[in-house]
A and B are shown apart, each in its own frame.
Chain A
């Protein structure tokens, strides 16, 4: 069978490896057998149109889900979702989740000795518009400790989940904040081998998106895998 790959496999070169020993959990969870290269079949070239019907406009405002305003620094996070050739990814679900301003998740397993905020649950979602744009209003998350190594702290981050047009374009990643002093010490951030690729996980402070007397703005563009400009047309004999 011909191994056709309309979505170039090289595009994933910036991803971290599965096994990154400094991130201790990878040692018991990363596969050791080589991955098996398979063609991109109909199964991978299609994907779910998931969740759109359930997304309400208020879901993109994480500061408006409680009875009152959550504590912390209100921020606007916005950007575009593009494919690797620069084409916008419209009408695509983005889901986010994060810790509160004190660095605590609204999750039963989070035992960090920091306060929960009764007005902050830390989850949001939206659908990109025709130009691939999205926008969330939320609270700047705090750093928090974790058990990976002595005195380990995660840099402040927001988790993002995107589907894009098919199974191959699925992406789960994290957005970080510019200038975080914890970057050099974080094995998850540094699992991305290429320094410039790591930079692409860091949002840009955006004064234009900053709303006077209200909230700082951050811009974070997200790039998904994209197919060749003319997929499946390269197999003709010369």
Chain B
């Protein structure tokens, strides 16, 4: 109602509310698991599961992937039975910042779900990227928790990586405030 102050400026940012269990009606198109148009290079596949405090799969989460180096965007819901997800993109490359520093290639991730009153923000880095060691954002994460941000190559499957999101509990994924 009182969105504006008396001087006409907004009284504040509109608060977040949960995406709820029925977002697929409005937000999901199955094509959006492929972030790159056909013919633009050799894609990687990232697959995983969203898990809750009890280690149970979350079958109604939505992930959004923002890849600034391309740029590219993906959005999808987790599987309504086993909470899994899978998407394809190009391996992100190091990103030069306005201050000249190059940050490690990564994907910026928003997690939405019933039970999340606002999105969670995390990142997917790729194990083995030489730039990880000097990445200033990773450096802010306690070393013991950095592994939660790493997509790992799947043994024996070329160009395939695994990455799980643990919303809370043991091995909880690192989430950011920014």
Chain A positions within 8 Å of B, measured between CB atoms, are 1, 5, 9, 11-18, 20, 23, 25-33, 35-44, 46-48, 50, 82-86, 95-97, 105-110, 121-125, 159, 161, 167-168, 170-174, 178, 188-189, 191-192, 196-202, 204, 221-225, 232
* Pairs A-B, 7 closest by C-beta atoms: A97-B26, A25-B115, A29-B115, A48-B73, A35-B177, A1-B136, A16-B117
With a cutoff of 8 Å between Cβ atoms, the chain B residues found around residue A5 in the complex are: 178
Mask for B18-38, Cβ within 8 A of A = 1, else 0? 111111111100000000000
Q: Is the CB of A11 within 8 A of B13?
A: yes
Selected from B168, B174, B178, the residue in CB contact (under 8 A) with A40 is B178
The smallest C-beta distance from A105 to any residue of chain B, in angstroms, reads: 4
Q: Is the CB of B116 within 8 A of A18?
A: yes
Rounded to whole angstroms, the CA-CA distance of A44 and B95 in the bound complex is 12
With a cutoff of 8 Å between Cβ atoms, the chain A residues found around residue B20 in the complex are: 159, 174
The smallest C-beta distance from B112 to any residue of chain A, in angstroms, reads: 6
Per the 8 Å Cβ criterion, residues 34-91 of B in contact with A are 52-54, 56, 58, 60, 64, 66, 68, 71, 73, 80
Q: Is the CB of A12 within 8 A of B13?
A: yes
- Of the listed residues B17, B64, B110, B145, the one surrounded by the most CB atoms of chain A closer than 10 A to its CB is B17
With a cutoff of 8 Å between Cβ atoms, the chain A residues found around residue B98 in the complex are: 42, 232
Instruction: Determine the main DSSP class of B at the interface with A.
Output: loop
Rounded to whole angstroms, the CA-CA distance of A106 and B168 in the bound complex is 31
Q: Is the CB of A109 within 8 A of B21?
A: yes
Selected from B16, B18, B60, B167, the residue in CB contact (under 8 A) with A31 is B167
With a cutoff of 8 Å between Cβ atoms, the chain B residues found around residue A125 in the complex are: 26
Rounded to whole angstroms, the CA-CA distance of A164 and B110 in the bound complex is 15
With a cutoff of 8 Å between Cβ atoms, the chain A residues found around residue B103 in the complex are: 41-43
With a cutoff of 8 Å between Cβ atoms, the chain A residues found around residue B60 in the complex are: 109
Rounded to whole angstroms, the CA-CA distance of A25 and B114 in the bound complex is 7
Q: Is the CB of A191 within 8 A of B117?
A: yes
Rounded to whole angstroms, the CA-CA distance of A62 and B15 in the bound complex is 25
Selected from A15, A168, A225, the residue in CB contact (under 8 A) with B118 is A15
Q: Is the CB of A86 within 8 A of B10?
A: yes
Residue B147 lies at the interface, judged by CB distance under 8 Å to chain A: no
Rounded to whole angstroms, the CA-CA distance of A44 and B106 in the bound complex is 12
With a cutoff of 8 Å between Cβ atoms, the chain B residues found around residue A124 in the complex are: 26
Q: Is the CB of B15 within 8 A of A16?
A: yes
**Contacts beyond the supplied A43-B103, A224-B13: 10 A-B pairs with Cβ under 8 Å:** A1-B140, A13-B12, A16-B16, A30-B168, A41-B103, A107-B24, A167-B108, A168-B178, A202-B1, A224-B14
